[in-house]
Structure 1
Amino acid sequence: MPLHLSKLKSLQVLVGVKFLLGGGGGSRMEDLGEVHNLYGSLSILELQNVVDRREARKAKMRGKEHVDNLSLGWSEMKLSIGNCKDCDSLPELGQLPSLKFFSIREMHRITEVTEEFYGSLSSKKPFNSLEKLAFVKMPEWKQWHILGSGEFPKLEKLSIAS
């Protein structure tokens, strides 16, 4: 991926892109927002470097109409969400096929884990590959809705800590 992608104002088509966030290159999600004609596959790596949803929205991913294969990657942690003091629901992540480790931290307004958390119910079991799940510092959490349809079939470790 070229450095300072957003400065390439005359770029018309970019095919098969691997986009590395943060690090020495200093690429940011908003750099993707300036590129309108991406075609084929797009890989966005090191997503743990995205600061917040405002930064993610600047990528304007909904406008990438010609991207037919999107791959998202995090570091070894895989996926962690947290410190969202104003969020009152968890995202629908149950159908991510490769998610192995998931940590949910300091989500102060979450009072319950609802059916939405499992994602749209399809023939796949929710959290099919998840091995480790951690809930940490969720002081208002009172209820967890379990589907009872074989969710978490590979879960080895569940951690709930205050």
Structure 2
Amino acid sequence: MPVQMGGLKGLRTLTTFVVGKSTRSTIGGLGDLSHLGEKLSILKLNNVVDGRDAKLKNKKDLKELELAWGSKDADHSEKVRDVLDNLQPCMNLEKLTVKLYGGTSFPNWLGDSAFNKIKVMRLEGCHYCFELPPLGQLPALKELFICEMKFLRTLGPELYGQPFQPFQSLEKLEFKEMAEWEEWVPSGSGGPDFPRLQENSCDSMRSFPLGIFPKLRKLFNVGP
């Protein structure tokens, strides 16, 4: 029998929450668990009606968050985007993973520079997004992993965002299975776009803009 989450308001550890369709396992069960810490995976987000019920913003002790949908199939793009928008976490977050997101664009909070503690970002299987969020604005981001964005053709200014020097802290970058990716456009900031990058793995591009990786030490899997 599913546990009634309402009686566990002091709960500090919950590694996985699977969203169901029954009233006992809706995402609203997370709403009052404001003391959750460390890491949390929320799975089968395709069952969510209103992401605001999760109240992730009030979970100030949460350091790692995984948000995963349950299918690679396309969904109602506007509905899915609204769900992800309403799942905005607290700004103390250090690691974020988004899997099988079915929207065509990301909400504005993803890449917001106010998330100044995020060190690791993983975007996996976001098949229908045409562009990446402005992750260059995340000042503490050290590791970025992106895979299976099959509609992304050009990587350009939208990734870097507004700062004069994007990706100030990024040390490790990996792109994987980006089938339609054809062009990588530099930011035009006047300096290297990845000033501290040491390790790059990419199985989808044969070449990169000159001068964007001045401190690169390791390069893996270049070329389709």
Q: Normalized against structure 1, the TM-score is what?
A: 0.66
Displacement, 1:74?
1.8
Partner in structure 2 of residue 74 of structure 1: 95
Partner in structure 2 of residue 51 of structure 1: 68
Confirm or deny that 1:128 pairs with 2:168: yes
CA–CA distance in 2 between the matches of 1:45 and 1:51?
A: 17
CA–CA distance in 1 between the matches of 2:60 and 2:51?
A: 10
Matched residues, number: 144
Partner in structure 2 of residue 143 of structure 1: 183
Q: 1:19 to 1:32 in 2, by over 3 A?
A: farther
- Structure with bigger strand share is 1
- Paired-residue identity, %: 30
Pairing 1:3-14 to 2, within 5 Å after superposition: 3=11, 6=28
Gaps of 5+ in 1: none
RMSD of Structure 2 on Structure 1 (CA): 3.9
Q: 1:58 to 1:92 in 2, by over 3 A?
A: closer
Instruction: Indicate which of 13, 21, 25 corresponds to 2:40.
Output: 21
Gaps of 5+ in 2: 1-8, 15-26, 70-78, 97-118, 204-223
> Which fold has the larger relative contact order, with Cα–Cα distance below 8 Å and residues 6 or more apart in sequence?
1
Partner in structure 1 of residue 144 of structure 2: 102
1:103 alignment partner, SS class: strand
1:94 alignment partner, SS class: helix
Q: Normalized against structure 2, the TM-score is what?
A: 0.50
Q: 1:59 to 1:28 in 2, by over 3 A?
A: farther
